[in-house]
Amino acid sequence: MTSPLRHRNLPQLLLQSREALMQRFRPMLNELGVTEQQWRILRALLQEDGLEPRQLCERCLISSPSITGVLARMEEAGLIDRERMDHDQRRVRVTLTDQSKAIGERMAPIVEQQYAELEVLVGVQALQQVYDVLDTLLQRLAPAGQEPGTDTQAHGRADASPAKNPPQVNGGRPLTMQP
């Protein structure tokens, strides 16, 4: 029987690509006792410390209900501090602790080494093409007048939407599939 579907399953290919990439980073995260969600939050805060939970939801692609529990566990583990903002007690600012800064410093060369190996494996030019194609895809799929990743809806899956202000790697190119 022939399938009535003409196109390859792009979302599935992107998920498979993400999983293949994460297999390179997951052992490092496991060694440090940091989950993928926690690493996305730490990496976002390493890029810009002092974000609000809603900003972390957008940048890390974690739903609002999920981030509450993740942040609570991270605070218990000494990875983050949460403090009420002076000008508006309803708002909370999330910052890194010395412990999480040390994790970031320990992870940075390992992460960079993985990217260097990826550049050798795939090729610098091919990897740059991937960045360019993903940037274009995200830009063109964003609703009119909205930056990619600034969806105000809660994200149901961590890998379903692009991050706002994704981390900069490879000469300043954004990488949406962290680490």
Using one digit for the tens of pLDDT, what is the confidence trace for 43-94? 999 999 999 999 999 999 999 999 999 999 999 999 999 999 888 888 999 9
Q: What is the mean pLDDT of residues 22-31?
A: 93
Q: What pLDDT shows up at residue 65?
A: 93
**Using 50, 70 and 90 to split pLDDT, how confident is the model at 169?**
very low
Query: Is the pLDDT assigned to residue 129 strictly greater than 50?
Result: yes
Measured distance CA(90)–CA(45) in Å, rounded: 20
Q: What pLDDT shows up at residue 148?
A: 60
Q: What pLDDT shows up at residue 167?
A: 36
Query: Is the pLDDT assigned to residue 32 strictly greater than 80?
Result: yes
Kindly report the average pLDDT of the chain as a whole number. 83
Q: What pLDDT shows up at residue 149?
A: 56
Q: What pLDDT shows up at residue 127?
A: 95
Contact 154, 65 (CB under 8 A): yes
Q: What is the mean pLDDT of residues 113-122?
A: 95
What are the CB-based long-range contacts (under 8 Å, 24+) for 23-29?
A: 24/114, 24/117, 24/118, 25/111, 25/114, 25/179, 28/107, 28/110, 28/111, 28/179, 29/179
Q: What pLDDT shows up at residue 85?
A: 85
